[in-house]
Amino acid sequence: MPSQQSEPPDGRLARLRGPQPPQPYTARKITALTANPACARRAVLDAAGVDKALLAQQVGYEPRFGQSPFALAREQAFHALVKWGGYAELIQLLREQLSVPVAEAHVTDLNEVGGNTDLHVRERETRRLIAHVASGQDVRLILDRPVLTLEVAGQTAYLEPDALTHRIDGKFHVVLIRSFAAIDGQANPTAVAETAKQAAVYVLALRRAFETAGLPTDQLAHEFLLVCPKDFSNRPYARLVDLRQELDALQFQLSRLRRAEDLAARLPETATLDTARDADELSSSIKALDASYTPSCLSFCEMARYCRDEANGCASPARFGSGVRNDLPGIASTRTALDYLDGVAAPGEAEAEAADLLCAAARLRRLRRGVA
């Protein structure tokens, strides 16, 4: 999967990346981008297909997290279990919990097409098959690892959901297989939310595919099927999870994303994000891209520690989280805010209201300290 190359980003973005092979656009990246749509840095890095982990390492910020090999192995083992014996477990889940008739057991493995694993070929085969199934010429219960495309920030992303199933109420459902356990029907809510966001990306991609093929989009479900281990066993468990909210949020965020190419065009001509170059050169190019650091970046972005130090350096209020940032509208730095409090500088007209609130808060704090 990761060795597959997505469509080469043309022109400017490709030049920025240099001779390194591009990294594919994944659902994970898209959700990260929509979680922080103001971050031009991440938008350009992802659109150019730069290896962010390597880049962070080059500029001296070895990413401390990453995907744990144990978690990956667990995920793979659970995938293998669910798909074991001609998708027997998945078919059983669909039958038991979603009352799919026994006669439905048609599957197609889209991991390769005629011995070919090329993404373009698989994408075309997926489109062909979906069109056949949607128009009723053919029947498939499960499509294993189809390939869908989605335009993100002016770039084509190739997405591979774990599976697609057609036969729940005659609608297409995205199936995601995850290895976090559902204990008494309750899974880790953060993990489910993260999975739902990724599923929304797949559903949206599917919707685009239907629109381009001129098929009725009411065949698409706004729910996805989450398969995870049941309780403390290894038995799979499946539930439909509603996606309407995530879909709306995602569509809104995607429409707000500026085109990565436009963002890249503003960079100086000498800028480079080629991971083989030295740290100073890279650092100056990265600085030219605006980041919008929030503490939550630490949990999903490889560049987060770089951005955090940068935010520390310019005393950005967002360093303390979105709460502090929202309390200081128009004040770009905590140093300025402190200056207002100490009376060193007078707030301008735009900042007056925020500064007043800040002074009031400071007075309350002083009073409390006096009492205590």
Partner 1 sequence: MAASLEDLEQRLSQLRTELRGAVRARDKAETARIRRALREAETAWEHALEVEAESQSATDDGALPTEPQASPTSVTAGEARRKERPVHGSIPIREQVHQALTLLGAPASPKLISSTYEAFFTEPLVATKLASLRRDEERSFTAQGYARPYYICAALTHDRLVPARGLLALSTWPVERRIIGPLSPRADFLTHAVGTAEQIQRLATAGHPAPDAAWRLLRRFALTIPGAYDGSAQEPDPARVIAAAHAESAVHQQEDDQQRQAAAQRARGQLADVQQLFGAAPMRDALRDASGTLS
Q: Are 127 and 272 in contact (CB under 8 A)?
A: no
Torsion angle defined by CA atoms of residues 101, 102, 106 and 109, in that order, rounded to the nearest 10 degrees:
100
Q: Count other Cβ atoms within 10 Å, centred on residue 216.
A: 10
The minimum distance between CB 152 and partner 1, in angstroms, equals 17
Q: Considering beta carbons, is residue 13 or 301 the nearer one to partner 1? A: 13
Q: H or E element: which one contains 347?
A: none
The minimum distance between CB 118 and partner 1, in angstroms, equals 6
Q: Are 318 and 332 in contact (CB under 8 A)?
A: no
Q: Considering beta carbons, is residue 96 or 211 the nearer one to partner 1? A: 96
Angle between helices 244-256 and 27-35 (to 10 degrees): 70
The minimum distance between CB 129 and partner 1, in angstroms, equals 10
Q: Considering beta carbons, is residue 74 or 106 the nearer one to partner 1? A: 106
Q: Considering beta carbons, is residue 107 or 187 the nearer one to partner 1? A: 107
Exposure b/e, 266-291, CB count within 10 A at least 16 = b: ebeeebbbbbeeeeebbeebbeebeb
Rounded CA-CA distance 207/221 in Å is 10
Single-letter amino acid code for the residue at 79: H
Q: Considering beta carbons, is residue 115 or 343 the nearer one to partner 1? A: 115
The minimum distance between CB 120 and partner 1, in angstroms, equals 4
Interaction site with partner 1 (CB under 8 A): 7-8, 80, 84-89, 91-92, 95, 102-103, 105-109, 111-116, 118, 120-121, 124, 139-140
Residues paired with 174 in a beta bridge: 164, 224
Q: Considering beta carbons, is residue 124 or 266 the nearer one to partner 1? A: 124
The minimum distance between CB 245 and partner 1, in angstroms, equals 34
The minimum distance between CB 95 and partner 1, in angstroms, equals 7
